[in-house]
């Protein structure tokens, strides 16, 4: 997991080690690597909430396009973020 993702988890969540463990366990549930874009989108949308974290992890497995739409777009026409880029590169 990239350092910017770890830093954002540490700044946003009360129990960052547990959140990182949950995020890392996604790879075994997915049977393969998870894109950094997905991790960043989930963390961004969760805003430090474990309930939201779980919700967006579920969404990532069901429909990653919807996850990215919610995280990266202000509305379906206006892209605000690109979570292929680090949080630092986007000023987050």
Domain ranges of the chain: 3-90
Calculate mean pLDDT across residues 5-12: 98
Is pLDDT above 70 for 85? yes
Residue with the bigger pLDDT between 40 and 75: it is 40
Report the C-alpha gap between 41 and 20 in whole angstroms: 14
pTM summary value: 0.93
Q: How many CA atoms lie within 13 A of 10 on its CB side?
A: 7
pLDDT of residue 31: 67
Which structure tokens are listed for 22?
Answer: 């949950």
Residue with the bigger pLDDT between 22 and 34: it is 22
Which structure tokens are listed for 7?
Answer: 């830093």
Is pLDDT above 80 for 32? no
């Amino acid at each position: 997991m990239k350092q910017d993702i770890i830093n954002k988890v540490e700044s946003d969540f009360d129990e960052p080690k547990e959140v990182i463990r949950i995020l890392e366990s996604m790879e075994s549930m997915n049977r393969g690597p998870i894109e950094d874009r997905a991790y960043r989108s989930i963390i961004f949308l969760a805003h430090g909430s474990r309930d939201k974290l779980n919700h967006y992890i579920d969404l990532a497995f069901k429909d990653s396009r919807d996850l990215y739409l919610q995280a990266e777009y202000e509305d379906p026409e206006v892209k605000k973020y690109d979570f292929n880029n680090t949080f630092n590169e986007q000023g987050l």
